[in-house]
Structure 1
Amino acid sequence: MKKVELLAPSGSMESLYAAVLSGCDAIYMGGSKFSARAYANNFDDEDLKNAVDYCHIYGVKVYIAVNTLIKEEEYNEAIEYIRFLYKIGVDALIIQDLGLFYGCKKLFPDFELHASTQMTVHNGDGALFLNKLGFQRIVLSRELSLKEVEYISKDLGIETEIFVHGALCVSYSGQCLMSSIIGGRSGNRGRCAQPCRLPYTLINKKSGLNKAGYLLSPKDICTYDEIKKIIDSGTSSLKIEGRMKRPEYVAGVVGSYKKAIDSYYNNKPIDVKNEYKKLTQLFNREGFSKAYMFGNVGKDMMAYNCPKNSGIYLGKVQKDLTITLEEDIHLKDGIRIKDDGFAVSGIKLNKNDVEYAKKGEKVTLKPTKYKSGDVLYKAGDITLLEELSSIYENLYAKKLPIDLQIEFKVGYSLKLIGKFEENEFEVSGDIVQKALKRPLDKEGLLKSLNKLGDTPFELNKIEFLDFEEGFMAVSSINAIRRELTDKIINFLILKYRREDKVKKDISYISKKPKEKADLPEFMVVVSNIEQLHAAVDSGVKDIALDCFFKGSKIRIEEVTNIEGVNVYIKTPNIIKEELEGICGLIEKHISGIKGIVTSNLAIIARFYSRINIIGDYKLNIFNSYSSQFYSEYLDGAVMSVELNNKELNNLAKKSTLKPQVIVYGKYELMVSEYCPIGSLFGGKSSKSSCSEKCFEGDYVLKDRKGEEFKVLTDKYCRSHIYNNVPLNLIPNMKEYRRNNINSFRVDLIEEDYNKSKEIIKMAMEEKFEGDYKRYTRGHYKRGVE
């Protein structure tokens, strides 16, 4: 039975040492470029090379995240960067951009590739699609249940990787545009500003009912007590999130999960309660959740009161400003009070100054930055941190055993034969001299040979093949010992290194280009009956039906009977257990509809050879290589809405995939399994019993600046958060036409009949003369970094 992999994060050399010495099987990290944690202390090329070598000495694999969307002008640089990673022996790449994926497959066909969680793989068909393309491993979305993980891993036989500990995004990864649209910092480019960790107020505009807090801030994942079930699911790798975390955190979390995994395979019990407490002390946000693995999708997953490290409960301040301790406390421990905190500089116990106090004792703390009634939490445990930091102080603290055979005979060279794993390494040194005074005995020789403290090795079995007392300078013995260890180290490093590939041509060659249908010149997406009537009454010929929102009364069969109207079905971006139902709906109407609008890989894989498909903007098509890849499956697509005008025009000129531009509509900023409406107003923690409060109001999330973001729910109880203002590029349509972009789309989300007709009229006439204050041009000018 193949043992499950423990995959650790690393954002610095110290974190890397901590992870390896704590027992991980593999490391994932970012280099200096194209990583989805652009603000981590990522590695420059020299550090990266040293890091890879260090890990390979210990048999630890290294996966490099190159998991951002790649701009056209960056593509050659990205390929050369990957060439460097290939040569230094990186074990696998973690990739989001399908254009980069195909460049890698062409130039480095033996380079192992993993599909990043940024690719939003959340169903079996999507996983199969990418696996057949050549991704060896799929990093599954964190929203999957354990049953879904098991289906993909076992039933479909796909190598999967899942997150088991660390931060959880409230939106599906790869589907979030909130940071990008609001502040220009794109999560798809590794620069997320984490607006989900800010305070919001959920307001029912009809009733005025509201609730405030950190409403989009999930608790961190901790599945420590469920490791047996998770390993039994058949997943190949257990991933710990935390490239932005300090090395002590990495050491502690990796060490705990290593114990849990070893316990599973050795069938030996561990102190789960104690390990769980340690994990809680290291970092938590109002406790932990188990993500969506066991069906928990409601308010129990959320840290509504504190988006930062909560620590563990220390005690409540009494009127005399004393605290009866619920945990031990030491000088320099970190204390949290609500959103504030301090480091303990003094502890007074029974009027005496002490360095520490125990649970149950009554103390006062300095500085006195608290008042009567405050609840204190211990957010930093200096003793624990010092214990964990000691793990990586000696980077060769973990020793690898060498069996050693020795030949030491006067008149002959000193010979050492080291056996490491299944390999033998032989070195010869200076000639052994006849001793003039005191000869060197076995004990003295072994004393010198055992000086391996600055190496990753230790002597195990020692055998003298020949020995005769003689003389040799200690410096000569040290030299041959170093030669042997260097030889083993070089072997361990060089067996991962690869020769540079001679291929330089990165032009994309489409294997089976799809015969393209014409894109509609003007398309309107409608999500309710009023919008549909407005589109039909306005003479729109191409209408896409988004009939998957709650309360939608659109009936596809009624629209397909309207003469002169081409009907498209716009599918949800996220499709899980309802996949067969949605595919069945498409099958039912496939002869009567013109095509599908979708960003879902499963839908594309099922229907691309049977019907026209227009890719939606959440496919994140960012460069001509990814657009050309999709040209095998799509008739056209809305390219990434994070491209600026210049980038889009250049992409349109290079790509064989016809571009479509959204000229009006609110962007979907987030899509989530978590529903704030049901969780806050439904009275239950589970979305299956939320009382469907979404039918009883008109809901918005209001941020600190007073901006309101529309919240809608679909028929599968997922929540969708839309931008506060609509995109309006209607005045730019003529400019797009001059650049040979001739397909335009209007998205109607919450507009009524009259507003819909007004927008449609302006778009059809390509004129806008209203007030622009309540609109945005999105990334038309600025794009993203």
Structure 2
Amino acid sequence: MKPELVVPAGDFEALRAAIWNGADAVYLGGKKFNARIQARNFGLDELEQAIRYAHNRNVKIYVTVNTLIADRELNDLDDYLTNLHHLETDAIIVQDVGVLKLCKELHSDLRLHVSTQASVCGISGVKFWMDQGAKRATLPRELSFEEIRKIKEKNGVEVEVFMHGALCYSYSGQCYLSSFLGERSANRGRCASPCRLPYNIITGNGTTLRTDGPHLLSMKDLNLSEDIGKLVSAGVDALKIEGRMKIPEYVAVVTGIYRKLIDDDYRQPTHAEQKELEAIFNREFTKGSLYRYPGGKAINSGRPSNRGIEVGAIVGYDESFKKVSILFSEAIRVGDGLEFMTSFGYKGLVLTKLFTGGRRTSEILPKCVGELFLPFQPIPNSFVRKTRDSSLHEKARATFSNQESIPQIHNSKINFNQSRGYERLSSLVLTTKNEQTKKSSKICVEVNTLDSIRHAIKAGADEIYFGGFPEFTKNLDLNNYRQAIDIANESDIPITIVLSKMMGNDEHLKEIITTLKSEGADKFLVGDIGTLELVKQMGLTAYLDSSLNVFNRVARNLLFKSTERMTLSHELHLSQVARIAGGAPGEIEYIVHGPLVLMLSEYCPVSNAINSEDKISCRKTCNEKGFYLKDKRDLLYPVKCDEFSRTNILSSKDICLIEHLQELKAVGVDIFRIRCQLFKPNMIPELVKLYRTGLSIDNIDQGEDESLVSLKEKILKLSDRKTFEGKINTGIE
């Protein structure tokens, strides 16, 4: 059976383009609960028309409900899902485990697909979602062919992979840079695309490294048109095209080519087909992580936008008339978009007038010289690129523009006034914390060196988290872990080992946990569902890190069945923290100080600059010298490698919530975590002391020396890193 071709649609015109060019299924979003909220999208009435239109042509519709959902939205979500069921939606695509649980309990007839936003990387993670009722998993684009094959082989579930389109620099669902820079969270569908902005690489001594371009996080586009047969051999059930923000012509061209490749028994694309894929949109193409570690080779630092195709070179420029002469290698015509290199960067225009030999023409053939007037001066002898192919656009539009009109719905199945009230959800969100087992507030210190452990113990930390960004260069330095566990045990301080997140290889991860267990580790901080499941299966204790994005009480209650402690998302407003922490059946943790991980990636912007493709040597250089990304505002973001050479981009400022300790304590936070990986060990005792003092203040008096404000002032003197308060006051959209 051939794999399903799953195609994006940001509006009804793109839906028609998808259907009339061979889509088996179309995924699209509503006006809310949608990770591409900036697309035109579909209102409920439009969704009904879209589903009717698609079903009449034997095409399925998958509706994205792939954002994190706040408690205040659960009632609206329940109503929305009810309508999606009435409209006979073929499946919904979800990110939030709370939505998964809500659907299982209240909307069991809805078919569930797991979004790539859920960061489901391994066999155990996929199994968790399937056990909760999901039927298909859209795997992260970072997985290799072998990892995809094993997930399918071991679980036997439906597997969907992206094969064409834009790539995110960070693992989907693990990018917080957009919300750090403003209130626009990628996990709420409002990503501001900060990965497409310019940056510099700065060394620890302040030197700026030379790079090929400034767009150091801007990924090339995925193109696996040559690898369809390979993916099918791995058991992939559905092949997906990215592009709900793209124009209908893009959808038509890309869908049509992949349709032909699938129908022709997964043949290789022709030169002409590859050229059309380039011409309609490309940032250069990459195969991502499918076969090998890409390092920085999957990044197009030169430009973040469509680069089109090269169509000629400048052979002359008359400055007095502002007329440029171009020797074209490809046909060009009026209506095409051309782009030129100038001393001020790339500049482009749409051709309205075109000349050859001094005569006006509508088209110029290859190997001919054409002239046109420019409002800017291009660089002499530079190449010219075509970024809009009017002929290709017309050809694409002809495939769907003359088809039937949008169907009129006379007997709508939508109920706009159906709300059944919050009582229906009460069993999913309510639980009561056992106050007899509730302990006093504890300070947990997260460190990554042995010296830091000693200073944290000396400071009176209640618990230690060890790991994260090691100074050692081996993939797993057992001697370091052994010493860390021994140091903590000698002082009778609980120690928890921080495990790397998003590990696609379950077998390797299990070996790591088994090895650490043999050295005395029995508690682990985990950052994804798959690792949680593995640790639980091995009879060990797992605490949940903030990267699991617990955003509502339904998710809280579901995950507390597998853990006794969870760290809440740092994108939450204080009022949301209160809702989730209140009545929680286990310990609630919150990161109150230190750098936040804003991006986790398989791709390294530094490796290109230092010309390294070897993981071990690259990580050694990175952690020894220290590198930073510098943005246009001169903010410095530390770049750190974990033990398995994934790039972690940290916040340019430390979160500092010492002025909010009493509020967090009052709403039910039990564990206050201080992340000290960027601090000198001798700073840790004073930092812990200040937070201990802050937790002991019951009555905040701004006039006292030890008020929370004065504690904040003392913290600022400890480090040259600036601080911010996260989203505790503002939340995110």
In structure 2, the partner of 1:326 is 329
2:187 paired residue number: 188
- SS of the residue corresponding to residue 118 of structure 1 reads helix
Residues 573-597 of structure 1: per-residue CA shift (max 9 Å, x gap): 22233412322234324xx446222
- The equivalent position to 1:768 in structure 2, one of 709, 712, 720, is 712
SS in 1 for 2:590: strand
CA distance in 1, matches of 2:491, 2:4: 58
Larger Rg: 1
Residue number in structure 1 paired with 2:704:
none
Cα distance in 1 between the residues matched to 2:650 and 2:287: 27
Give runs of aligned pairs for residues 366-385 of structure 1, distance below 5 A. 366-367=373-374, 369-371=376-378, 372-385=380-393
- Cα distance change of structure 1 residues 616 and 695 upon mapping to structure 2, 3 Å threshold: closer
Change (3 A) 1:684 1:361: farther
The Cα of 1:519 is off from its aligned counterpart by 8.7
Amino acid at match of 2:75: N
User: Does 2:651 match 1:735?
Assistant: no
2:164–2:222 Cα contact (<8 Å) kept = yes
The residue aligned with 1:31 is 30
CA distance in 2, matches of 1:326, 1:368: 23
- 1:568 counterpart letter in structure 2: T
Displacement of 1:745 after TM fit? 0.9
1:388 to 396, 408, 415: 396
Q: Is the 8 A contact 2:75 2:419 kept in 1?
A: no
AA of the residue aligned to 1:760: V
Contact 2:114 2:137 (8 Å CA) reproduced: yes
Residue from 665, 669, 675 that aligns with 2:594: 665
Structure 1 residues 112-161: Cα deviation after superposition (integer angstroms, max 9, x where no partner): 10111111011111111211221110110110011111111234312111
Q: 1:580 and 1:595 mapped to 2: Cα distance?
A: 14
Is 1:153 paired with 2:152?
A: yes
Alignment of 1:274 onto 2:272:
yes
| Contact 2:485–2:495 (Cα < 8 Å) also in 1 | no
Letter of the 1:132 partner, please give it.
D
| Residues 1:298 and 2:246 aligned together | no
Evaluate the alpha carbon distance shift between residue 28 and residue 513 of structure 1 in structure 2; reply closer, same or farther with a 3 A threshold. farther
1:250 to 2:256 alignment? no
Aligned residues: 685
8 Å CA contact 1:207, 1:697 repeated in 2? no
Whole-angstrom CA distance in 2 between matches of 1:27 and 1:310: 27
Counterpart in the other structure of 1:352: 359
> Does structure 1 conserve the Cα–Cα contact (< 8 Å) formed by 2:196 and 2:304?
yes
TM-score by length of 1: 0.83
CA distance in 2, matches of 1:678, 1:16: 40
CA distance in structure 2 between the partners assigned to 1:550 and 1:575 by the alignment: 20
Structure 1 residue 623 corresponds to structure 2 residue 552 = yes
1:533/1:214 CA distance change after superposition, 3 Å: same
One-letter amino acid of the structure 2 residue matched with residue 506 of structure 1: L
Change beyond 3 A, Cα 1:675–1:514: farther
Indicate the SS of the match to 1:383. Answer: helix
Q: CA deviation at 1:734?
A: 2.1
Quote the residue 2:216 is aligned against.
Answer: 215
8 Å CA contact retained: 1:199, 1:703: yes
Which runs of no fewer than 5 residues in structure 1 stay unpaired? 397-453, 457-485
Displacement of 1:85 in angstroms is: 0.5
Q: How has the CA–CA distance of structure 1 residues 501 and 113 changed in structure 2, closer, same or farther, with 3 Å as cutoff?
A: farther
Q: Is the 8 A contact 1:508 1:628 kept in 2?
A: no
Rounded to whole Å, the distance in 2 between the matches of 1:347 and 1:662 is 61
Asked if structure 1 preserves the Cα contact closer than 8 Å seen for 2:169 and 2:601, the reply is yes
- Distance in 1, matches of 2:262 and 2:471, equals 43
Identity %: 31
Give the distance between the partners of 2:78 and 2:316, measured in 1 at CA.
65
Give the deviation of 1:510 after TM superposition. 9.7
Distance 1:61 1:619, change over 3 A: same
Deviation at 1:337, TM superposition (A): 2.3
Q: Is the 8 A contact 2:299 2:605 kept in 1?
A: no
Query: Which shifted more, 686-695 or 574-583?
Result: 686-695
1:350 is displaced (CA, Å) by 1.8
Distance 1:606 1:271, change over 3 A: closer
Change (3 A) 1:642 1:107: same
Q: Whole-Å Cα distance in 2 between the matches of residues 272 and 671 of structure 1? A: 36
Aligned-partner residue type, residue 779 of structure 1 = K
Once the two structures are superposed, what CA deviation does each residue of 1:221-249 show, in whole Å capped at 9, x if it has no partner? 01111111122211111010000000000
Match of 1:72 in 2: 71
Within a 5 Å distance, the mapping from 1:232-247 to structure 2 comes to: 232-247=233-248
* Deviation of the 1:560 alpha carbon: 4.4
| Secondary structure, aligned partner of 2:723 | coil
CA contact (8 A) 2:169 2:603 kept: yes
Find the counterpart in structure 1 of residue 227 from structure 2. 226
The runs of 5 or more residues in structure 2 that have no matched partner are 318-323, 474-479, 695-710
Question: Structure 1 pair 570/586, CA: closer, same or farther in 2 (3 Å)?
Answer: same
8 Å Cα contact 2:123-2:154 kept in structure 1 = no
Give the 3 Å change call, closer, same or farther, for CA 732–520 of structure 1 in structure 2. Answer: closer
Aligned partners of 1:218, 1:675: CA distance in 2, in Å?
Answer: 11
DSSP 3-state at the match of 1:202: strand
User: Aligned partners of 2:490 and 2:502: how far apart in 1?
Assistant: 29
Paired letter, 2:424: D
1:611 shift after superposition? 3.4
In the alignment, the residues of structure 2 paired with residue 690 and residue 745 of structure 1 have an alpha-carbon distance, to the nearest angstrom, of 30
> Aligned AA for 2:360?
D
Do 1:142 and 1:292's aligned partners in 2 also have CA atoms closer than 8 Å?
yes
Q: Which amino acid aligns with 1:337?
A: F
**1:567-578 alignment to 2 at 5 Å?**
567-577=495-505, 578=508
Compare 510-519 and 357-366 and name the one that shifted more.
Answer: 510-519
Structure-2 separation of matches of 1:506 and 1:15: 36
Q: Select 2:465's aligned residue among 544, 554, 557.
A: 544
* Cα displacement (A) at 1:690: 4.3
Q: 1:296 to 1:258 in 2, by over 3 A?
A: farther
SS in 2 for 1:710: strand
Secondary structure of 1:309's match?
Answer: coil
1:604 and 2:548 are equivalent in the alignment:
no
**1:225, 1:272 within 8 Å by CA — same for their partners in 2?**
no
Q: Is the 8 A contact 1:512 1:632 kept in 2?
A: no
What is the alpha-carbon distance in structure 2 between the residues aligned to residue 695 and residue 506 of structure 1? 48
1:656 aligns with 2:663: no
In the alignment, the residues of structure 2 paired with residue 9 and residue 455 of structure 1 have an alpha-carbon distance, to the nearest angstrom, of 18
Determine helix, strand or coil for the equivalent of 2:713.
Answer: coil
2:456 to 529, 535, 560: 535
SS in 2 for 1:318: strand
TM-score normalized by structure 2? 0.88
Which whole-Å CA distance do the structure 2 matches of 1:686 and 1:280 have between them? Answer: 30
Which of 467, 485, 506 is the equivalent residue of 2:425?
506
On the 8 A contact 2:433/2:584 being kept in 1, the answer is no
2:116 corresponds to which letter in structure 1?
A: T
- The 5-angstrom pairing of residues 712-751 of structure 1 reads 712-751=640-679
- Alpha-carbon distance in structure 1 between the residues aligned to 2:46 and 2:498: 47
Query: Post-superposition shift, 1:654?
Result: 4.2
Deviation, 1:715, is 1.9
Q: Distance in 2 between matches of 1:307 and 1:356?
A: 29
Q: C-alpha separation between the residues in 1 aligned to 2:632 and 2:124?
A: 40
Whole-angstrom CA distance in 2 between matches of 1:250 and 1:517: 55
Matches within 5 A, 1:248-647: 248-264=249-265, 272-285=270-283, 287-320=284-317, 321-338=324-341, 339-367=346-374, 369-371=376-378, 372-396=380-404, 505-508=424-427, 521-546=442-467, 549-551=470-472, 553-554=480-481, 555-577=483-505, 578-589=508-519, 592-593=520-521, 595-608=523-536, 610-647=539-576
